[in-house]
Structure 1
């Protein structure tokens, strides 16, 4: 174990545009974070490309959302949410849930979980979660959530890379 200490702050010279230009080279999966908004009783949701496992024991996941998100407060109010791992071909769902206006769920087929959260039909899997912590992540909020139950299906993932949505293709070198 390292005993090295780090300064409390480090002055970064990285501009947001440069950061975005470099990070767009890293492909990410696409996940729909959905809940039942306790204020309206209807579904609320958003898309994240930062979803990942955090811990096996206890089973924890994490993702980040922009502080400016108008959808995250609706999901956060519910305290319970579901994650639908979007499949290749579900680009329209991604676009609908990324929209800033209108009824995001109007054209989306989904099933209500035992926790009342929307599971997107045709997704590669779903994970029901409870919010454990919201942490400061600069212009984003880092969410840590406990996994309550989960299930997987067969198929290929929807992937975001270089500003585009697409599918995963195995390398010829494999």
Structure 2
């Protein structure tokens, strides 16, 4: 076994190769522009619960993201937890461009945010804090409402460069 001592900067390729061992859930962050009605969306693999009281969630986005500034301007946004069979939704929202939700089924929530059809759960959120950490923006958001679905599916997971689902083992 090779042990790498921290004496300087970590090589990005090595960092990426090591982090590939950690599976991540896949979530869609979406909003609707209050003025134009334009929908915006992006995918994050860093969504997590942060606090129960008050209900806070967190995720991070690359500081170079062109989608996040549009989503954050709306004031409120949704997070849809994607199911294992929603790989096409993930690819659509990961693509470059502005009309990402055109090929994705969704409904507007009572908070004016897009809830993606077929997702495992939805969160309607408002930004509480944003700050830069390395090459990312860390977002902390308050949960305004959340809705689980009755869908019997496993979550979409990204691991080792591929998509898949969760399977229990005995």
**In 1, are the aligned partners of 2:40 and 2:99 still within 8 Å (CA)?**
no
CA-to-partner distance for each residue in 1:49-106, whole Å, 9 max, x for gaps? 0000000100000000000111000001012000000001100000000001352111
Instruction: Determine the structure 1 residue equivalent to 2:157.
Output: 159
Question: Any gaps of 5 or more consecutive residues in structure 1?
Answer: 1-9
Instruction: Determine the structure 2 residue equivalent to 1:95.
Output: 91
Instruction: Determine the structure 2 residue equivalent to 1:80.
Output: 76
**In 1, are the aligned partners of 2:57 and 2:143 still within 8 Å (CA)?**
yes
> Once the 2 structures are TM-superposed, how far is the Cα of residue 39 of structure 1 from its aligned partner?
5.0
Within 2, Cα distance between the matches of 1:93 and 1:16? 28
Instruction: Determine the structure 2 residue equivalent to 1:26.
Output: 22
TM-score (structure 1 length as normaliser): 0.89
Within 1, Cα distance between the matches of 2:21 and 2:75? 33
Instruction: Determine the structure 1 residue equivalent to 2:37.
Output: 41
Which SS does the other structure have where 1:106 is aligned?
Answer: helix
Which SS does the other structure have where 2:54 is aligned?
Answer: coil
Within 2, Cα distance between the matches of 1:39 and 1:99? 24
Instruction: Determine the structure 2 residue equivalent to 1:150.
Output: 146
Change (3 A) 1:126 1:21: same
Question: Any gaps of 5 or more consecutive residues in structure 2?
Answer: 1-5
Report the count of equivalent residues: 163
CA-to-partner distance for each residue in 1:113-142, whole Å, 9 max, x for gaps? 111110000100000000000012110000
> Once the 2 structures are TM-superposed, how far is the Cα of residue 11 of structure 1 from its aligned partner?
6.6
Instruction: Determine the structure 1 residue equivalent to 2:137.
Output: 141
TM-score (structure 2 length as normaliser): 0.91
Which SS does the other structure have where 1:133 is aligned?
Answer: strand
What value does the CA root-mean-square deviation take over the aligned residues?
Answer: 1.4
Which SS does the other structure have where 1:105 is aligned?
Answer: helix
> Once the 2 structures are TM-superposed, how far is the Cα of residue 13 of structure 1 from its aligned partner?
2.4
Superposed structure 1 runs of 4+ greater than 2 Å apart = 10-13, 37-40
CA-to-partner distance for each residue in 1:12-36, whole Å, 9 max, x for gaps? 4211111111111100110000001
Instruction: Determine the structure 2 residue equivalent to 1:66.
Output: 62
